[in-house]
Amino acid sequence: MMNFNYQNPTHIVFGQDRLQELDQLVPANAKVLVLYGGGSVKKFGTLEKVLAGLGNREVFEFSGIEPNPTFNTLMKAVEIVRAENIDFLLAVGGGSVMDGTKFVAAAAPYEGDEVDLLKAGFAGAPITSAIPLGTVATLPATGSEMNMGAVISHDIGKLPVMSPLLYPQFSILDPSLTFTLPPVQIANGVVDAFVHVLEQYVTYPVDARIQDRMAEGILQTLIEVGPVTLAEPDNYDARANLMWSATSALNGYIGVGVPQDWGTHMIGHELTDLFGLDHAQSLAVVLPSLWKLRKDKKRAKLVQYAERVWDIREGSDDEKVDLAIEKTRDFFESLGVKTRLSQYGVEHNQIENVIKALEAHGMTALSETGDQDLNTSREILEDAYAA
């Protein structure tokens, strides 16, 4: 196991009817900006409950944060924060709203060109201060409610913003708030959480037994409850397990002391940026093909994944790996998430545009060992395209 530091300061408030505790979580004298996306939080009454929970505080609203939140939209929220001297941000929505709110938290006190916060990327954004924030999660998927990262869309690409200052102070996770989500968003959430785990788990062994078994438990839970949440939208227990799985997939715990890949995400971000695929759809397209092309590099963990997650006990190691990849693809498909690039209307000759984008964004040495070059990424996309 590798050396690591771990600290997660986010206070999780989990369970039904926890929104009524909002007044105890936000500082009493705070001037609050509530940020959200489209009209669903209004339509289903979540926003009304949030505003009631904030009591007599001075509250402003900012709506319209898109899926894959954009720099230009978020800068409008930054202007409100600066003009009104906002000192607390509350994200109400899914991962995109939370990610966008984190960027606003970092950008509002920043005195330079806010684009620099994006250009710094994984090297560490130059964030020395941030406005405190909390979240009310309405979509189980990204884990943004309990981590310090965000991904923001800009003309220069989809880029990360990361800082320990961006951990939410608290996150309210009420599974019943997700009952009204359309099936496609639930399916996407299951796939998103599933791949988050796999990016940290299917790399190479370092004898991290606790991390491995926690990862395997999350994967098995998602396999169990994913179909149930689609078939039974009001099943609280299934939705609660899905929600906590999504949070646990990316709150840092299973990723400490182990190598991580994230190559699927980096290619997937380009597919979303260029062709408009949902984030989870892009992951479902890339992952099986990436494993197929790189199974020799990931063999030991793929065999472990086959045996422990899918209970594949018979056959050679090669046969176990191939069947595990097939079962993973079938699982995504069973949720209604297509796994071939051609199924999303992308033309074959557009693959080269993805490679050019990867090169432009410096994504030329991906994988847990940095040996996935552009030629390998091209082969992965070629395989992912096939019908």
SS3 track for 58-86: EEEEECCCCCCCEHHHHHHHHHHHHHHCC
* CATH number of the CATH domain containing 155: 3.40.50.1970
Give the span between the Cα atoms of 245 and 131, in whole angstroms.
Answer: 28
- Residue where a domain terminates, one of 177, 209, 243: 177
Q: Are residues 237 and 165 in the same domain?
A: no
Establish if 5 belongs to a structural domain: no
Cα→Cα distances 121→155, 160, 326, Å: 15, 5, 34
| pLDDT tens digits, one per residue of 292-328 | 999 999 999 999 999 999 999 999 999 999 999 999 9
Q: Are residues 46 and 113 in the same domain?
A: yes
Establish if 198 belongs to a structural domain: yes
Give the span between the Cα atoms of 184 and 163, in whole angstroms.
Answer: 31
Mean pLDDT, residues 94-112? 95
* CATH number of the CATH domain containing 262: 1.20.1090.10
Cα→Cα distances 140→11, 179, 184, Å: 17, 11, 12
Selected residue with higher pLDDT from 114 and 285: 285
Q: Is the pLDDT of residue 155 over 70?
A: yes
Q: Are residues 162 and 203 in the same domain?
A: no
- Residue where a domain terminates, one of 125, 156, 177: 177
Establish if 1 belongs to a structural domain: no
Q: Are residues 199 and 166 in the same domain?
A: no
Phi-psi region of 36 (alpha: psi -120 to 50; beta: other; left: phi over 0): beta
What pLDDT is stored for residue 236 in this prediction?
97
- Token pair 């062709």 is found at 275
- H or E segment to which residue 36 belongs: strand 31-36
Q: Is the pLDDT of residue 119 over 80?
A: no
Q: What is residue 376's DSSP assignment?
A: H
Per-residue b or e along 76-87, where b marks 16 or more CB atoms closer than 10 Å to that residue's CB:
ebbebbeeeebe
How many structural domains compose the chain?
Answer: 2
Give the span between the Cα atoms of 345 and 342, in whole angstroms.
Answer: 6
- Residue where a domain terminates, one of 128, 159, 177: 177
- Token pair 């590099």 is found at 297
Percentage of the chain modeled with pLDDT above 90: 89
Q: Residue 146: which domain range?
A: 11-177
Q: Are residues 162 and 15 in the same domain?
A: yes
Q: Are residues 302 and 171 in the same domain?
A: no
Q: Is the pLDDT of residue 121 over 60?
A: no
| pLDDT tens digits, one per residue of 317-359 | 999 999 999 999 999 999 999 999 999 999 999 999 999 999 9
* Residue 387 binned pLDDT confidence (cut-offs 50, 70, 90): low
Q: What is the pTM of this model?
A: 0.94
